[in-house]
Amino acid sequence: MSEIIRVEDVWFRYEGADFWALRGVSLTIKKGELLAIIGQNGGGKTTLAKNLNGLLKPTKGRVMVDGLDTKTAPTHEIVKRVGYVFQNPSHQIFESTVWKEVAYGPTNLGLSPEEVKQRVEWALSEVGLQGYEQYNPYDLDYGKMKLLTVASVLAMKPQVLILDEPTTGQDHAGRRLLSYLSKKLNREGFTVVIITHDMRFVAETVNRVVLVSNGEILMDGSTREVLNAFDVLKKAAIKPPQIVQLASELRKKGIDINALTVEEALQEILKHYKS
C-alpha cells in the first residue's frame, strides 16, 4: 500500500500556550487503512487529527498529505483530500435542509449541478439517509445528524475520512451503525481515521490503533496488540473492553482464549468447549 499521510517529528503548541500539545509525533498512514487514534481528552489526539488535514499546521516538523506539505500547500487542496467530521454535529450543520447541507461542499468545489446532484444522492445513500432530503437537519435525531455530517464530508469525495469521536452521545444502536459504516466505507476504498476513546467500538471496528498520551505516541500497532498491552493502556488510564479482560483472566488460568469481540470469544470458547 502506498502512503497517503506522513507525520514527521511534529511539535505543536497552541498560540499563547506555554506547553506543547504534541511533542515529536511521527506516523505514517497508508492508503486503505482503517485506524483509531485513542487516548484521554487533553492528551493530544484531536490536535494530532487536526494536523492531518491542515486545520492546524505544525509548529515544528511537517505533515505531508498525498505529497503536499500542509504548511505550504493551499488549505483547500488538503481539505479536498482529507475530510473531517466534527464530534458535535451542530458545530458542522448550518443549512436549512439535508439536501442543501450535503450539496454545500461539492457546489463549492465548482462542480456542475448534475455532478452535485449525483454526489448528494450517492453520499446520502452511503449513510442511509435517502428520503430525508427535505428535512431540516435539526429535526433529525442525534444519530441521524451524525450520519448527515458524514454524508456532507463524503460528498467531497476525500481520500481520507477523519471521524472525531463519532460515538460520543450515541446510544448502542448508533455506535453499531457507525462501526458498520466505517468498515463499509473502508472496504469501498476510503482511508478512515477514527478519534475515539470507546474501546468496545475500537475492538469491533479498526485494524490499527495509535495510542496518544501527553502529546506523544505511546504505542502504535494492531488492534490486538494494543488492546492487550494492559500495562501501556494503564499508563493512559484506559480500560480494555470487557471481552479482552475476560480472555486475559482466562489465560492466567491456563485457558488459551484470544478474543477482542463477543463473536470472536464465542468462536474461541466453542473450540475449547467441544474439545
Residue of 19, 41, 131, 231 interacting with another protein (CB under 8 A): 41
Pick 83 or 240: Cβ nearer another protein: 240
Q: Does 142 bind another protein (CB under 8 A)?
A: yes
Residue 267 dihedral angles phi and psi, to the nearest 5°: -60, -45
Per-residue contact flags (x/-) with another protein for residues 72 to 111, judged by CB under 8 A = ----------------------------------------
Question: Does 272 participate in binding another protein (rule CB under 8 A)?
Answer: yes
Residue 169 interacts with another protein (CB under 8 A)? yes
Following DSSP, what letter does each residue of 10-65 receive, concatenated? EEE--TT-SS-SEEEEEEEEETT-EEEEE--TTSSHHHHHHHHTTSS--SEEEEEE
Alpha helices by DSSP H, listed for 109-228, are: 113-127, 142-154, 172-187, 199-205, 223-228
CA 113 to chain centre: 30
**Using rule CB under 8 A, residue 140 touches another protein:** no
Q: Are 200 and 190 in contact (CB under 8 A)?
A: no
Scanning the structure block, which residue is given the C-alpha cell 431540516?
Answer: 136
Q: How far is the CB of 234 from another protein (least distance, A)?
A: 11
- Cα 2 off chain centre by: 19
User: Using the rule CB under 8 A, is 172 a contact of another protein?
Assistant: yes
239 binds another protein (CB under 8 A): yes
Contact between 238 and another protein by CB under 8 A: the answer reads: yes
Gap between the Cα atoms of 191 and 203, Å rounded: 18
Query: Which of 32, 128, 143, 221 touches another protein by CB under 8 A?
Result: 143
Instruction: Tell me if 171 contacts another protein by CB under 8 A.
Output: yes
CA 78 to chain centroid: 17
Q: Tell me the window of 21-29, 128-136, 180-188, 248-256 that interacts with another protein (CB under 8 A).
A: 248-256
# chain residues binding another protein, by CB under 8 A: 36
51 CB-side CA count, 13 A:
31
User: If you search the block for the grid coordinates 491542515, which residue do you land on?
Assistant: 54
Q: Which of 51, 170, 182, 186 binds another protein (CB under 8 A)?
A: 170
Q: 199 or 217, CB closer to another protein? A: 199
Nearer to another protein, 136 or 168 (CB): 168
Smallest CA-to-CA distance from 109 within 80, 83, 75 is with: 80
The residues of the shown chain that bind another protein, judged by CB under 8 A, are 40-42, 141-143, 168-174, 197, 199-200, 237-239, 241-243, 245-246, 249-250, 253, 255, 257, 262, 265-266, 269-270, 272-273
